[in-house]
A and B are shown apart, each in its own frame.
Chain A
Amino acid sequence: TIGMVVIGGNGTVASGTSTNGGVHKIPGRVGDSPIAGAGSYADSTAGGAAATGDGDIMMRFLPSYQAVEYMRMGMDPTVACQKVISRIQKYVPEFFGAVICANTTGSYGAACNKIPGFTQFHFMVYNPLLSQAAEQVVDCI
């Protein structure tokens, strides 16, 4: 799944996702990606977030909406992402998932849930301080 957040020079936020979902799913199954607040969320008064992972689990927590609300409270994007992951961890310790967050000043971060075989999450960033699109990685919590 790709989840993306774009914040323009004047702070306008847009987000989006696209996916073909889980493999061998039961026909009719829809994951978190097309659900606003789950797959992604954008609010130009606070920031944007997008989630990826096991959509059956993640959609139940509206992780993208939650992350934006944390940033609205002034949390740093990385902390906002981590808090979302830890919220889900309480109920499903072994869930597979990651979140990216960015606020309207252009600060960004990401977080993921550490499980065997998934201990780091790679994501892409491009901003004026980078001469090209940069692959970045966070250690899962």
Chain B
Amino acid sequence: TAALPVVINTWAFRKATETAWRVLQLGGSELDAVEKGCGQCEIDQCDGSVGYGGSPDESGETTLDAMIMDGNTMEVGAVADLRRVKNAIGVARKVIEHTKHTLLVGESASLFAVRMGFPYEDLTTPKSLSMYSKWLNQSCQPNYWKNVVPDSSKSCGPYKRLEKVICEKWTISQRNVHNHD
């Protein structure tokens, strides 16, 4: 049955839902509710797939992606590959409010965030470091490389491209329900 207002979010991230709902009840806007709701998951590191200290990349670093969209104005603010700043969706909101851009990425997005007053801090935690070292100790498996030497299904890189490219149909190398974005 339909009823408004409504908050809906992926996975059983209950605190995020409750936070968004509370912002609405306290008179906040829908955008405020999305920002605070998703921001709650960044604080809680929801299932390790949101926020700092999760999903280290091949260099052991945690990087963040986020977006926020206003359905009235179709304005979008987004950051990608954000480094060393924890509140990614807060920065995404600042992209809407303080730029005419839509998407800022990488280290430059971090510089923008610092200018907007967000703290610059290490997103690595003992947990993400142990995930990383465990991965290194299992020959960097699984990984996202293909058609490279040495054989990426057997050893770590650095890799070089394989002269002869083998056409592979969609190979799904990662099947871990917590490995998602």
A: residues with CB less than 8 A from B are 1-36, 39-45, 48, 50, 52-57, 91-92, 94-98, 100, 102-103, 105-108, 110, 115-118, 122-129, 132-133, 135
Chain A residues near B57 (CB, 8 Å)? 21, 24-27, 29
Q: Please determine whether B6 and A1 come into contact, CB atoms closer than 8 angstroms.
A: no
Q: Please determine whether B140 and A34 come into contact, CB atoms closer than 8 angstroms.
A: no
A27 and B59 in contact, given A19-B181, A41-B69, A95-B172 (Cβ under 8 angstroms): yes
A33 and B72 in contact, given A24-B142, A100-B8, A100-B9 (Cβ under 8 angstroms): no
Chain B residues near A102 (CB, 8 Å)? 6, 8
Q: Please determine whether A18 and B88 come into contact, CB atoms closer than 8 angstroms.
A: yes
What's the interface size class on B, roughly? Answer: 35 or more
24 A-B pairs (CB sep. < 8 Å): A2-B41, A4-B38, A5-B6, A6-B7, A7-B30, A14-B70, A16-B35, A16-B68, A16-B69, A20-B62, A20-B123, A25-B57, A25-B58, A31-B181, A40-B69, A42-B71, A54-B174, A55-B180, A100-B8, A100-B10, A102-B6, A116-B175, A127-B3, A133-B21
